[in-house]
Amino acid sequence: MIDLIPADLTVLDRAGLCWFLAVWLGYGRLIHGLRSRRSITARLRGVRRTWMLRMLGRDNRITDASLIGHTLHSATFFASTTMVALAALLGVLGGFGHSFAALGELAFTARTSRELAEAKVVLLVLVFAHTFLKLTWAIRQLNYCIALIGAAPLKPGPATRDTVAEHVSAVLSLAVGSFNAGIRGYYFAFAVLAWLLGSAAFLLVTAGILAMLLWRQFGSETADAMRLSHAALTDDEAAPEDRSGAAVAVH
């Protein structure tokens, strides 16, 4: 039986790989599992629900569909870029003999066997493949959301309005979640590249990316601004419902 594990894969390399896989694949579940109202992700769910309530109060939904279309274009751009990156990495694997020789001449890279170097590139391919799948799934979900907006009823009753807003905002949040997971793939690709510098760099860069993502979610100025904005929007949504339709459309 062929041993698929490189002989020079150290304990620190194994620890770094396990740590990377846990952070890369588990970050989204971690943020979802925390269900903290302090996170940007949680607040944006409420903001999107408020947005869909406003949308149902308007006769013209072209602006709403166009706003989602901007995110759709961004997801399409990143999906195309990811395909280019995947093609480049597969080209590197196809001629890895030359790439490995060039890599060995760099003074700042760790000296490893060819098998371990190939494994690092394969991991990078897997990261970008996962990124591509997430981005293309986001594209499909955003298209579904645009269809739901197009099919939304005009001037629905309170019960129908709340139900439709809840479900459409849920589809939009799932789409944006897939898009965000795809974007995070680019961040974690840097961690895999750091593995070329050594196992310690792999561990440290992975931890740094996790710290950066958590800070953005909970401690950044953007998170504080989202908290204040979400609070204002929630208060406005909870106001008495005897306002005129024009007032609802303006806010």
Structure tokens at 209: 């990316």
pLDDT of residue 119: 84
136 φ/ψ sector (left φ>0, alpha ψ -120 to 50, else beta): alpha
Whole-prediction pTM: 0.84
1 pLDDT band, cuts 50/70/90, is very low
Q: Say if CB 233 and CB 47 are below 8 A apart.
A: yes
Q: Is there a domain that residue 15 lies in? A: no
pLDDT bucket at 165, cuts 50 / 70 / 90: very high
Name the residue with higher pLDDT: 79 or 199: 79
- pLDDT value at position 236? 61
pLDDT score of 69 more than 50: yes
The predicted pLDDT at position 82 comes to: 96
Higher pLDDT residue, 108 or 67? 67
Phi, psi torsion values for 153, nearest 5 degrees:
-70, 155
Query: CA 158, CA 151: separation in Å to the nearest integer?
Result: 17
Give the confidence band of 189 by pLDDT, cuts at 50, 70, 90.
Answer: very high
Position 89 in a domain: yes
Taking the mean position of all CA atoms in its chain, how far away is CA 174? 10
Residue 219 lies in a domain: yes
pLDDT at 72 over 70: yes
Check if the beta carbon of residue 86 is closer than 8 Å to that of residue 125. yes
Residue 7 within a domain: no
- Domain carrying residue 84: 41-226
At residue 250 the predicted structure's pLDDT band, cuts being 50, 70 and 90, is very low
Total number of domains in the chain: 1
Structure tokens at 34: 């925390």
pLDDT at 243 over 90: no
Q: What is the mean pLDDT of the chain?
A: 84
Among 13-17, 86-90, 111-115, which stretch is predicted with the lowest mean pLDDT? 111-115
Looking at the domain assignment, is residue 10 inside a domain? no
Percent of the chain surpassing pLDDT 90: 45
Is 102 or 218 the better-scoring residue by pLDDT? Answer: 218
Let me know if residue 66 belongs to a domain: yes
Does some domain include residue 6? no
pLDDT value for 106: 59
Q: In which band, very low, low, confident or very high, does the pLDDT at 233 lie, cut at 50, 70 and 90?
A: confident
Summary count for the chain: helices (H), strands (E): 9, 0
* Residue 161 domain-assigned (yes or no): yes
Asked if 74 contacts 82 with a C-beta cutoff of 8 angstroms, the reply is: no
Q: Has residue 37 got a pLDDT over 80?
A: no
Confidence band, pLDDT 50/70/90 cuts, at residue 178: very high
Mean pLDDT, residues 39-52 = 88
Q: Give the least confident one: 30-39, 55-64, 157-166.
A: 30-39
